[in-house]
Amino acid sequence: MFELLLFIIGIFSGFVNILAGGGSFLTIPILIFLGLPPTVANGTNRLGILLQSLVGAVKFKQYGVFPAKFALLVSIPAIIGSIIGSYLATIISDDVFKNYLAFFMVFITLITLLNPVGKLRQNDIKLSKGKWIFSFVAFFFVGIYGGFIQAGVGFLILAAMIVTGYDLVAGNAVKTFVILIFTVFALAIFIFQGKVDLYLGAILAAGNVIGAFAGTKVTVLKGNNFVRWFVVACVLVFAVKLVFF
């Protein structure tokens, strides 16, 4: 029974992650509630993130909305940051990670209330030297956070891209590709440290892939405003459960 629940949650989180972000705020607590230690839940979640990001990146490329040069370049500092963050996530205690997760769930939720993604503008742009420097620094720290927790990193990427001037659709394409690339390295570290449950991860990943197919299409056609508030409500509920239950 719990396998079916995890699969359904995977579909929804895959859809939300591609469309906006924050789906891991649902899947990590669910994995914890199913009995995984918090640090193992954090690692197990990455298997689904990897596959859904692969699907999303391919679909965005097919839709012709993928700014390849920018995405490839900012992936470099993101990879370096993710290796640092992933290693830190594997050496802290489960109780400490649980507290960090609850804190960032609330913190990232407050960021989404500011609606940074609504300010993204044009797709056909040329970046100045200063914007390139900002992008490299920003994606390095995004990588650290993504490697450490992952949950909500999509919101941070979209917020960072405000400065670049890319529109929402291109922003989501970059977000999906960058997450795909740094998750390869993060997942390898979690597996090496024995922090991945392959059985539950495979069930979750199967749902994530289905959700990712739907999420890419809706992103191109509609955008993400109608999802954002529902994600905010879910994040707050799970944050309270993590802290008090």
Q: Answer whether 145's CB lies under 8 Å from 86's CB.
A: no
C-alpha of 98 from chain center:
18
Structure tokens at 190: 């979690």
Instruction: Give the pLDDT confidence of 150-178 residue by residue, as tens digits.
Output: 877 887 887 777 667 777 677 888 989 99
Instruction: Show the low-confidence residues of the chain (pLDDT under 70).
Output: 20, 105-125, 162-163, 168, 219-245
User: For the chain, which residues make up each domain, given as ranges?
Assistant: 2-244
- Report which of 176, 184, 212 is spatially closest to residue 65, judged by C-alpha positions: 176
Cα atoms found within 13 Å of the Cα of residue 218, Cβ hemisphere only: 17
Q: Answer whether 179's CB lies under 8 Å from 146's CB.
A: yes
Instruction: Give the pLDDT confidence of 7-49 residue by residue, as tens digits.
Output: 988 898 888 877 767 778 788 888 988 889 988 999 999 999 9
- Report which of 198, 227, 206 is spatially closest to residue 215, judged by C-alpha positions: 227
Name the pTM for this structure: 0.80
In the prediction, which pLDDT does 187 show? 93
104: left (phi over 0), alpha (psi -120 to 50) or beta: alpha
In the prediction, which pLDDT does 120 show? 47
